Amino acid sequence: MPIYPALVCFLTAVFAALPSFTALAQTALPTIQVGGRRTSPSVHSHAAPPGSAARTHSALPAPRVSPVVAAVSRPPSASGPKPPPITASSEKFFTGKEVNALPFARPGDALEIVPGLVVTQHSGEGKANQYFLRGFNLDHGTDLALYLDGMPLNMRTHGHAQGYADSNFLIPELLSYVLARKGPYDAQDGDFSSAGSIYMQYKDTIDKGFFQLTGGSFGYARALAAAPYRDFAGGSAYGAVEAQYYNGPWERGDNMRRLNSVLRWSRGTQDDGASVTFMGYA
């Protein structure tokens, strides 16, 4: 059969079947009106007329929302951290609770909550992490600007690498939020932000004190204690002390010993208040 008559027969069959396809589509996907109140007098009322039994529609039962979905869909608590205006898809905001939901061995590992960021270590423990963002090697922070409470962590001059950013003194459990920007889109980030920037913020207050111990393979041990001080010098304060030991999977162990402490006093809010933080790290 020549191709053109066959094509004509095929198109004729398709157009002939269109009414049945349209009817099927209207049956499977009925028109749904979404929006304001209907004012047309022809709208059918579901109220039962006087003297008759009420009728109910049982074809589509009401959807049931699971408690988990309902909890996720609620707006954040008024006392929680408020995200700033997010103006780009590459800008992400994470609460401290979300950061600590991920396991980590080194403090810098907690920053891996940022999509596309890899934080690792080479040449032994105790120095600044090696950062990779979107597959690019950023050395020890040369192209990744890090801030804690507005304080820049990148060192302008360092014998190992310009922009050397050591985040090993970070205590992830004290984080209020993390704001990450990927790409050189914001002029306020300035130097060392060619690939991105990360802003970390410590909590101004903690609800209650806690103590935790962590142990793992290769001689890993970590202890952390924190205690709040209410109504201290016209504000609120808390202190935290951390100790960690790690030998590593080497024949000649790292014998890394780390001590860390934070004392923070705050009054007011982030928008209208003040905070003073003392930190010690070795």
pLDDT of the chain, 282 residues: tens digit per residue? 555 555 555 555 544 554 444 444 444 556 666 655 544 444 444 444 444 444 444 343 333 333 333 333 333 344 567 777 887 888 899 999 999 998 888 888 899 999 989 998 877 777 888 899 888 888 888 889 899 998 999 888 887 778 888 888 999 999 999 999 988 767 778 788 888 899 999 999 998 999 999 999 999 999 999 999 988 888 999 999 999 999 988 888 889 999 999 999 999 887 888 999 999 999
Distance, CA of 202 to CA of 277 (rounded, Å): 10
Distance, CA of 196 to CA of 279 (rounded, Å): 26
**pTM of the full predicted structure?**
0.68
Residue 36 placed within a domain: no
As a whole number of Å, the end-to-end CA separation of the chain is 87
> What does the block give as tokens for 184?
């050189």
Collapse the DSSP code of 58 into the 3-class scheme (helix H, G, I; strand E, B; otherwise coil) and give the result. Answer: coil
Identify the bridge partners of residue 232 per DSSP, sorted by sequence position.
235
Cβ-contact 101, 167 below 8 angstroms: no
In this structure, are 198 and 209 located in the same domain? Answer: no
pLDDT of residue 259: 96
Collapse the DSSP code of 251 into the 3-class scheme (helix H, G, I; strand E, B; otherwise coil) and give the result. Answer: coil
CATH code: domain of residue 130: 2.170.130.10
Q: Which of 150, 180, 202 is the last residue of a domain?
A: 202
In this structure, are 228 and 217 located in the same domain? Answer: yes
In this structure, are 151 and 224 located in the same domain? Answer: no
Q: Which of 202, 237, 257 is the last residue of a domain?
A: 202
Cβ-contact 247, 253 below 8 angstroms: yes
pLDDT of residue 112: 92
In this structure, are 175 and 228 located in the same domain? Answer: no
Rounded to the nearest 10 degrees, how much is the dihedral formed by the CA atoms of 92, 96, 97, 101? Answer: 80
Cβ-contact 131, 141 below 8 angstroms: yes
Q: Which of 174, 202, 230 is the last residue of a domain?
A: 202
Domain housing 160: 83-202
> What does the block give as tokens for 95?
């609460």
- Looking at the structure of the chain, the number of domains it has is 2
